[in-house]
Amino acid sequence: MRVRLEELPPDRADRLRRIVQARGLGEGTLFQPGPRRWLAVLGLLALGAGLVSARILLSGFSDWPRPADAFVPWIGLLGLVYGPLALADYVRSLRAELPPFFLLTPYNLVKGRGSHRPLDVYRLPEAHAFQRVEQYSGTKWTGQAFVFDFDGKDRFRFVLQRKEDIATADRALALAQAAGQGEPLPDLPACRLGDLGPGYSAPTPKPGSLEKLLDPASETWLLLLGVLCLAFIPYAIFR
């Protein structure tokens, strides 16, 4: 469920702030800071490509050897839109009250992309399906995937590669299973924390087209950039 930080009950919002500031609660909790540097790198590359292409456009099409060459500056113009958008979002995430993070407790899955954007908060007791899948690229092991399905076709998936992180996640999920069966839990901070939900005052609806367009990390942008990069490869090779 998507919910903004200010829409959480005050006590739970404060609890979440303390957890993020402490970078977790020790045993039974997996906390990972969210990687966002890629957004800055991608933004700088896109902006650079956009500026170069804008200069090419200003030089005039008459100097171009082939009409197909006009394809390049239009890709660059996209960089003039995406570059500043990505860099601005990166700066906002650095200045946000809650930086990007991922949190797993015996009660909740939480993903934040900066407190200027809605949090993804899921209650483990509400998961109706769970998969633990070994991932491979050919014969090379690439990580342990944890997949949770919730009502409304919501799916939460994360991948871990470090053995320590996998063991921590398994410990948290074992506590979650015990809590779901009504078993007494050990006196750990993660267990005393309790559930961050329900009780949201106004859950945020799923992102619409405009919100996806203004989010440089959205699937819409990443898919578009990926398609354009694949389209540019044969042009660069056979030009």
Give per-residue pLDDT as tens, 52-72. 777 766 776 555 555 555 566
Give the list of residues 6+ apart from residue 174 with CB closer than 8 angstroms, or none: none
Same domain, 50 and 149: no
Same domain, 167 and 180: yes
Give the integer Cα–Cα distance in Å for 168 and 105: 10
Same domain, 127 and 29: yes
**Structural contact between residues 96 and 115, judged by C-beta atoms closer than 8 angstroms:** yes
Same domain, 182 and 230: no
Read off the pLDDT of each residue in 20-32 and give the average, rounded to a whole number: 90
Q: What percent of the chain lies above the pLDDT cut of 90? A: 24
Same domain, 138 and 45: no
- Go through the chain and tell me how many residues it has: 239
Residues paired with residue 144 on neighbouring β-strands, in sequence order:
134, 160
Same domain, 118 and 46: no
Same domain, 74 and 25: no
Same domain, 137 and 124: yes
What CATH number does the domain containing 162 carry? 2.30.29.30
Same domain, 222 and 193: no
In angstroms, the Cα distances linking 129 to 105, 125, 166, 195 are 17, 10, 19, 19
Nearest-10 Cα torsion for 104, 105, 109, 113:
-60
> Domain span at residue 228?
38-94+215-238
pTM listed for this prediction: 0.79
Give the integer Cα–Cα distance in Å for 233 and 229: 6
Q: Strand pairing of 30-33 and 154-160?
A: unpaired
115-137 pLDDT per residue, tens: 888 888 898 988 889 999 999 98
**46 — pLDDT class (breaks 50, 70, 90):** confident
Number of domains, the chain: 2
| 47-61, 83-97, 133-147: range with lowest mean pLDDT | 47-61
